[in-house]
A and B are shown apart, each in its own frame.
Chain A
């Protein structure tokens, strides 16, 4: 289903008949490169074709019906004899849709390689991950995948495929620009056509079953080269790919074994409720056998090896954000019951009352003593972070017992970090005094 066509149209005046004969040659697409973004529905397409030009004025017609190309992004550049070829203008003729006409002034005749670039909508990619914990949960085998989907309406055969990790700023959706009746709109008003939008949704819906069927489509694992550019990362998939419209393809991005992980559990009533939430924590650095490139955001499904026969248990899943090199990763795997944190208010009193001139209370202190019981019922050691919020910025704290590492997070939050051995229980206490009314002054 090739929908993009380029015609080289040479106008020949036949003097006898005074008729205008269009001579058309169809230059084929020699190579094509796709640079697919995932923060926006956008792909930069670069294709090379060889045009046969005659000296003088040449007109090249380029049409893209039923595709999702942004016509304002079209550009053609000669790749040879650059100084002899002037691409004077690109015209979008009246009353014709999805067609552009390049006016080329050529100082030479013969074959000229050109590069045509444009932005299109409908191609997308996303990253997802699978983690398999070892039985002792000390390490994980981390596999990263990318899945590239083509819903652009155009079959891109043998395309060099590149993926961009990063957040680009765009003003208009490419799909919307592609649907415009006039490439740059009309003076005074810009509005996409609604019926085209509706049509398009139908197309997407139809395309879906094919997409699903293609989900497990596999080829030989290819290597993905990763490179930083500006604020982005460029993933270049080895060789070329053919992804027909409606299809998608899954490729392995990386596969790292024995990534050391920390089983981190967090407790913070205001944020997670009364349960303990499990996190899988590691760092995107060399020590963790990672750290070559940032890890694009995606969904991670975590499994655990349960026996020698490599049977698996499903632990949970977590969506995570983009992780720069050297940053800590904390993946929220959801609430658990096998690690318990129980804060108990053991004592409450008020004191230091102040009275105003009328004899009313104008200030006082509140003193609360909490006992925090932490239980690890698992067979592996765990790290637990307990955050406590005070709802006021006027406070003092006294701690006792084995409270691990203490840290003031901000003006009304503190954190206790403890490590518990398998199947152990630990307790600590703190007394917080909060100051109210004139006692806060």
Chain B
């Protein structure tokens, strides 16, 4: 094992006569069966097995980790061969040292295999995605990479790396090394392309913006299900880069987004960029007070409104598109007239699915009243 900084285990041979001194007798037990467990994004659990040569009676085992980011409180020792005969009595920490001393009682001489586990900081894994959409944007070839980052101070020549799913694999990784491995390949995953205009987030009238285009956010939706060739396990969150086949044996980069954890059965939505070929011009054509009620001092105490909103939607694309339009009406309201079908997402939010043909133009007109408003 080259460049080992940590995890020197030193057996202390104790003779009762030499009581105080910590004599370290160099019997460095070789590390075997190392497991790096990366299933928890908060911390990485390391398990390693070592053979300790124990003598009958009291044994002191020194474990030190200078320069390595181990959480001292997380260190555990498990006796594997003779759990009934070998007992860990106590753990003590020497002053100003990244070390601890185990006091182990043994009823006989054993070459005892023990498993030491601890939480190691600054070693983790990232997940990244790369997806290549077909030219028609109906499916993607999805690849996921596992990126191991080791800045823990410790070199791992060979270890079994475990994620929360999938097969464990053998991998070595040095301190300050980063390794990227392909670990998921899902071809032809169906996607849905979505354009969304949210009236609360985007400017209403592009003409007022002089020289800026209003981009309508475009996303791809992928479902983590068996029908999509996925659905076996949750997809970890990470950065996703999307490309598209350009039909000329090359690709273009479409955009990138981060995704959160997507459990099996759930949807992943990746925002790729903005469309400037769908233009929404929304205007308020009417907003007046009606049914105004006043108190004895002639002050307005209650009123309704009469409001008209129009939204012109133009598709300058050569292909059809379905625009999801989100409108917001605060407070109590009722619709007097609306020329398009909508779904009430919540009390104050309306969702329209507007189908647009190539080079199509549509106009939404909402005539509504807000009720019982107090000034």
Residue ranges of A at the interface with B (Cβ–Cβ < 8 Å): 33, 35, 37, 42, 44, 46, 72-73, 75, 87-95, 117, 119, 162, 164, 166-171, 182-188, 227-232, 234, 294, 297, 319-322, 324-327, 332, 356-358, 362, 393-394, 408-411, 438, 440-441
Contact = CB atoms under 8 A, between A and B. Distances in A.
B287 interface: yes
Nearest to B315: A324
Given A228-B318, A327-B314, 19 more contacts: A87-B182, A89-B179, A89-B181, A91-B178, A94-B177, A119-B253, A168-B256, A169-B274, A182-B149, A184-B178, A184-B180, A187-B149, A228-B317, A230-B133, A232-B252, A320-B211, A327-B279, A393-B286, A438-B298
A79 to B, nearest CB: 9
27 contacts: A33-B250, A46-B251, A90-B180, A94-B174, A162-B252, A167-B273, A168-B256, A169-B256, A169-B257, A169-B273, A182-B178, A184-B126, A184-B180, A229-B246, A230-B272, A231-B275, A231-B276, A321-B212, A322-B213, A324-B276, A324-B277, A325-B318, A332-B210, A357-B296, A409-B283, A438-B294, A440-B289
B187 interface: no
B287 A182 contact: no
B133 A42 contact: no
B269 interface: no
Of A42, A88, A187, A227, most buried by chain B (CB within 10 Å of CB) is A187
A291 B257 CA distance: 32
Nearest to A95: B176
Contacts of B256: 168-171
Interface string B113-139: 000000001111010101001010100
Given A167-B276, A169-B255, A230-B133, A93 B177 contact: yes
A183 B178 contact: yes
A88 to B, nearest CB: 7
A360 to B, nearest CB: 8
A30 B212 CA distance: 41
Nearest to A79: B249
B148 to A, nearest CB: 9
B244 A325 contact: no
Given A167-B273, A186-B122, A357-B298, A230 B254 contact: yes
Given A187-B124, A188-B122, A409-B283, A394 B288 contact: yes
B210 A167 contact: no
Interface in B212-265: 212-213, 215, 218, 239, 241, 244, 246, 250-258
A242 to B, nearest CB: 19
A357 B294 CA distance: 12
Interface of B: 121-124, 126, 128, 130, 133, 135, 137, 147, 149, 151, 174-182, 210-213, 215, 218, 239, 241, 244, 246, 250-258, 271-277, 279, 283-290, 292, 294, 296-298, 303, 308, 314, 316-318, 359
5 A-B pairs with the lowest CB-CB distances in the bound complex, closest first: A324-B316, A94-B176, A356-B298, A441-B292, A169-B255
Contacts of B135: 229
Nearest to A164: B252
Contacts of B272: 168-169, 230-231
Nearest to B314: A327
A260 B283 CA distance: 30
Given A164-B252, A168-B255, A297-B213, A230 B174 contact: no
Contact of B149 (A162, A170, A186, A394): A186
A383 to B, nearest CB: 16
A393 B290 CA distance: 13
Q: Is the interface of B mostly helix, strand, loop or mixed?
A: strand
Given A169-B272, A409-B283, A182 B133 contact: no
Contacts of B244: 229-230
A197 to B, nearest CB: 22
A95 B174 CA distance: 10
B284 A411 contact: yes
A410 B273 contact: no
A278 B319 CA distance: 35
B286 A326 contact: no
B274 A231 contact: yes
Nearest to A363: B298
B179 A441 contact: no
Contacts of B284: 410-411
Given A35-B252, A410-B285, A91 B180 contact: yes
B285 A94 contact: no
Given A92-B179, A187-B124, A393-B286, A231 B277 contact: yes
Nearest to A43: B253
Contacts of B180: 72, 89-92, 184
B47 to A, nearest CB: 19
B254 A168 contact: yes
Contacts of A90: 179-181
Contacts of A166: 273, 276
A229 B252 CA distance: 9
A184 B316 contact: no
Nearest to B206: A321
A229 B253 CA distance: 10
Given A169-B255, A411-B286, A326 B137 contact: no
Given A119-B253, A170-B255, A231-B273, A327 B176 contact: no
Contact of A72 (B128, B179, B218): B128
A358 B295 CA distance: 13
Contacts of A357: 296-298
A299 to B, nearest CB: 10
Nearest to B193: A230
A358 B257 CA distance: 64
A119 B239 CA distance: 15
A103 to B, nearest CB: 9
B152 to A, nearest CB: 9
A164 B147 CA distance: 30
B316 A441 contact: no
B93 to A, nearest CB: 25
A411 B133 contact: no
In the complex, which of the residues A93, A119, A184, A356 has the most CB atoms of chain B within 10 Å of its own CB atom? Answer: A184
Contacts of A89: 179-182
B218 A231 contact: yes
Nearest to A231: B275
